[in-house]
Amino acid sequence: MNNIRLLLVDDEDDFRRTIAKRLGKRGIAPEEAGNGEECLAILEKHPMDVVILDVKMPGMDGIETLHHIKEKYPKTEVIMLTGHATTRDGVDGIKKGAFDYLSKPIELEHLLGKIKQAHEKIRREEEKLREAEFRARMEQQLTTTERLASLGTLAAGVAHEINNPLAIIKESAGFMKLILGKEEFADMPRRKDFELALGKIEKGIDRAKRITLQLLGFARKDDSVLAEVNLIELADEAIQLVDREAVNREIEIIREMAHDKVTIWSDPYKLRQVLINLITNSIHATGSGGKITIILEGMGEEVTLTVKDTGQGIPKENLKRIFEPFFSTKSPGKGTGLGLFVTRNIIEKLGGTIKVESRIGQGSSFSVKLPKYCEIKESLAQDERVDFLDKIASHNGSKPQ
């Protein structure tokens, strides 16, 4: 509530000052305006969240001022103040877009309640708008992802169709070269010319081969997908996938979820991978009879997923190194030393962070902090492959020259 930008408009100076002072004591000191014109002048320079607006004012009255406010600043919410027994004005105001009205004399608690509601409404609207924008962007990204996937299939097909005949040409040229090198051909007329031509064929094959390889490399990249992810479902899914191993080792996996539905926008497959990696690590570090707790907290801009175990813990000297590639304390052949390295890379790509706390003999806890709206760092819009696709698409329509 403290960061509400509030403007109080009333022509009765005493009344206005009193209310402003009392609001100030509650931590939301408003700007003040003595009439409609002044109110609009202030709004021009300082955008406001909520305007408390007296209906009856000389000059531009409340209803007219409201009209201007709603036209120019549709996001600003207005609470009308009407005189006693003139609720009609208030109803008019609501019809013209005011959030609500209060009749004078007003009770401060009542006013505070209304301000709070108006502010809540603004916050909800903003959230809705943001989600709609994100959805629109996602849809566009999805189309691009689909186009890229089809490019991958096409490239693989083309490469295959070209590589096979190339292999035939290569074997044939190689075979001829082999024959030419035989003793019986030592005196063959114009042997040098044949060798020259065969050399050119081989060079050509290598060039074509490089191109098909490039085409393949260009078409396949590790693309991220963004979707609405229900973290609770995701956690359940991950647990299910590793449950057998946990049961075998008599380890109990517990969920501690603060809410019944937590959704974020992120990459579900990569996140599942992260969870599986962390839980599997915990299982390996925890002896029979141990416990693994998966905790989900936070609802605002960030959520935190924690995987906590009652395992052996990580020695201090290793804590700094566990995210390094190829660092492993498992016996050779058992661990690659890449699990946590990959995990951290994924999380960072999704705009999050990972933290570890551990105590020898008591267990470890890995906390993953993720943004509610993930902005994938490499934007598909800047992807060189999109240009390529667009070029192909535009060529479809042009006529050969």
Partner 1 sequence: MVKIPTKVLIVDDEKDFVEMLSLRLSEVGEKVAPAYSGQEGLETLEKTSIDVVILDIKMPGMDGIETLREIKKQYPLVEVILLTGHGSTETAVEGMKLGAFDYLMKPADFDDLSAKLEGARKRKDEQEERIRKAEASLLVRRSGGSF
C-beta of 46 vs 175, nearer to partner 1: 175
Q: Binder to partner 1 among 140, 143, 164, 248 (CB under 8 A)?
A: 164
In this structure, what is the dihedral angle of CA atoms 194, 197, 201, 206, given to the nearest 10 degrees?
Answer: 110
Instruction: Please report whether residue 7 would count as binding partner 1 according to CB under 8 A.
Output: no
C-beta of 82 vs 212, nearer to partner 1: 212
Report the DSSP pairing between strands 302-309 and 363-371. antiparallel
Kindly state the number of chain residues that form the binding site for partner 1, as judged by CB under 8 A.
22
The CA distance from 53 to 65, in Å, is: 8
Least separation in angstroms between CB 203 and partner 1:
13
Least separation in angstroms between CB 165 and partner 1:
8
Ramachandran category for residue 213: left, alpha or beta (phi over 0 → left; psi -120 to 50 → alpha): alpha
C-beta of 34 vs 174, nearer to partner 1: 174
C-beta of 134 vs 218, nearer to partner 1: 218
Least separation in angstroms between CB 159 and partner 1:
5
C-beta of 16 vs 170, nearer to partner 1: 170
The CA distance from 81 to 54, in Å, is: 5
State which of positions 199-258 bind partner 1 (CB under 8 A): 205, 209, 212-213, 216
The CA distance from 213 to 53, in Å, is: 69
Least separation in angstroms between CB 191 and partner 1:
18
| Cβ(78)–Cβ(94) below 8 Å | no
What SS3 class is residue 293? strand
Q: Binder to partner 1 among 159, 275, 296, 305 (CB under 8 A)?
A: 159
Q: Binder to partner 1 among 157, 287, 289, 315 (CB under 8 A)?
A: 157
Q: Binder to partner 1 among 29, 129, 154, 179 (CB under 8 A)?
A: 179
Say whether the peptide bond before residue 105 is cis (omega within 30 degrees of 0): yes
Instruction: Please report whether residue 170 would count as binding partner 1 according to CB under 8 A.
Output: yes
Least separation in angstroms between CB 200 and partner 1:
16
* Cα distances (Å, whole numbers) of residue 48 to 3, 11, 160: 11, 19, 63
* Residue span binding partner 1 (CB under 8 A) among the ranges 10-18, 54-62, 175-183, 265-273: 175-183
Instruction: Please report whether residue 142 would count as binding partner 1 according to CB under 8 A.
Output: no
| Cβ(52)–Cβ(8) below 8 Å | yes
Instruction: Please report whether residue 328 would count as binding partner 1 according to CB under 8 A.
Output: no
| Cβ(22)–Cβ(52) below 8 Å | no
| Cβ(51)–Cβ(69) below 8 Å | yes
Tell me how many degrees the CA angle 283-289-290 measures, rounded to the nearest 5: 45
Q: What sign results for the dihedral spanned by CA atoms 261, 264, 270, 274? A: negative
C-beta of 174 vs 298, nearer to partner 1: 174
| Cβ(225)–Cβ(268) below 8 Å | yes
Q: What pairs with residue 365 in β-bridges?
A: 308, 357
Instruction: Please report whether residue 160 would count as binding partner 1 according to CB under 8 A.
Output: yes
C-beta of 163 vs 345, nearer to partner 1: 163
Least separation in angstroms between CB 210 and partner 1:
11
C-beta of 159 vs 305, nearer to partner 1: 159
| Cβ(344)–Cβ(273) below 8 Å | no
- Give the binding site for partner 1 (CB under 8 A): 156-157, 159-160, 163-164, 166-172, 174-175, 178-179, 205, 209, 212-213, 216
